[in-house]
Structure formats: C-alpha cells, structure tokens
Amino acid sequence: DYNTDMYDTGLTNIPTSSEVRTEYFPHAPGNYGSPASSSSRKLYRKVYRDQHFTNAKLPYNYNALFVNCTFDETLFIDASKTTSSYYNNVRFDNCTFNGPIVTDTPSSLKWQYNCLYFTGSATFNNDTLTEATILAPHFNVNLGNTTPIAGNENVLTGAIVGGIVDVRGNANVYGTIISMCDTTSWTSGYVTNIGVSLTDGGS
C-alpha cells in the first residue's frame, strides 16, 4: 500500500522508439534473446541508446532497454496499481543515474512483468532523493546480470526498496535493502538474495 504518486509530477514522457528488440526474462545464460525455460516471458523492448533524460517518465508496456543512457533527477517507471495488462519490465545496460528511480506501486508482485534489471556496470550518483536510490515497491529489482560478469560493478548510496531484491556479482550498497513482498506463502524461491549466482538463483 506504499504510495509513490507524489513523485509522478512535472515529468516528461519518454517518447516511443522505432528500434524494438526481442528479449526474454529470465533469459538463457549470456543470451538475452533466448529463454531460460518455457515459462520465460517474451518481451518486445523499445530500445534507447546513448540518450540523456531529465525528470523523465517511462509509460507502461514499453518494457524498455536503455543502453549507455544518463538519467538526471527523477526517473519514474509507470505501471498499473490494479489491472493486469499494464506492466514494465525494464533493462538498463551500463547506464548512469544522477537521481532516484521511482516506480508506480502495483497491487501485487508479478516478478516477470514489473522488473528493474541492471546489467553491465551501473553508475549511481543520486543527489536528488538521497534517502533512496531505488524506490520500487512490488517491483522485482535485479542488480547485476543473472549470469554475473567479471569486472561489472554497481555502487549505490541510499536505500533500495523493491518487492524482491537480488544483488548479483560485484556490488557495494551504502544503505539499506528493503524487500516489501510477503514471501511466507512460498516454500522456496522469490526471496531476496545477496551475492546470488546462476546456480543458486532463488531458494
């Protein structure tokens, strides 16, 4: 029931992109274009490369891929609070964040549908909302590749708030990780993992 509507003001919608890339989530090791299993979700990602955004809002169902992009001030990821057809599974590859990432608050966790997935080396220089770097209630937050790659590193200052949070590979978090999803109904999987690798991905 956390409300993030206060951050969804004065923002500019990110326009659609003519470049679309097919990916899967979860994907096969080292291959975003191949499914990890028959239950993987197929995504048609709108692709943005080498762009600069300030106080931006990503409309729902873009399922975007941002490559080498920079975000100043707030980046708001739209979804739906109540319906089942408006989602955002977003991948950021080697991006820089000079402010917080904030999402809408879905009514329940749908980990393949509402997701923030950080691959490569992300740079977080958050000086706008210093108490939280990522504020994403009921979103699946994956910091680092599902197959960790040597040399990639993520450094964050401030809280990371998500539905489920996984930290993979090399990461320094100067703050608090808060997973808001009640996972007691699941006997395994769907839990926050610190230092998770491909072979122990959720148990």
What secondary structure does DSSP assign to 123-148, as a single string? EE---SSTTEEEEEEEEEEEES-SS-
CB-based contact 165:179 (threshold 8 Å): yes
Q: Which residues pair with 102 in a beta bridge?
A: 76, 135
The label of the residue with tokens 């809280």 reads 159
**Rounded Cα–Cα distance for residues 6 and 66 (Å):** 25
Position 200 confidence tier, pLDDT thresholds 50, 70, 90: low
Lowest mean pLDDT among 105-109, 125-129, 152-156, 195-199: 195-199
Strand partners, 92: 66, 118
- pLDDT by residue (tens digit) across 63-89? 999 999 999 999 999 998 887 789 999
The whole-chain average pLDDT of the chain stands at: 87
Amino acid, res. 99: G
Of 133, 132, 202, nearest in space to 168 by CA: 202
Question: What pLDDT score does 111 carry?
Answer: 87
User: What's the angle, vertex CA 186, arms to CA 134 and CA 60, rounded to 5?
Assistant: 40
Give the pLDDT of residue 146. 59
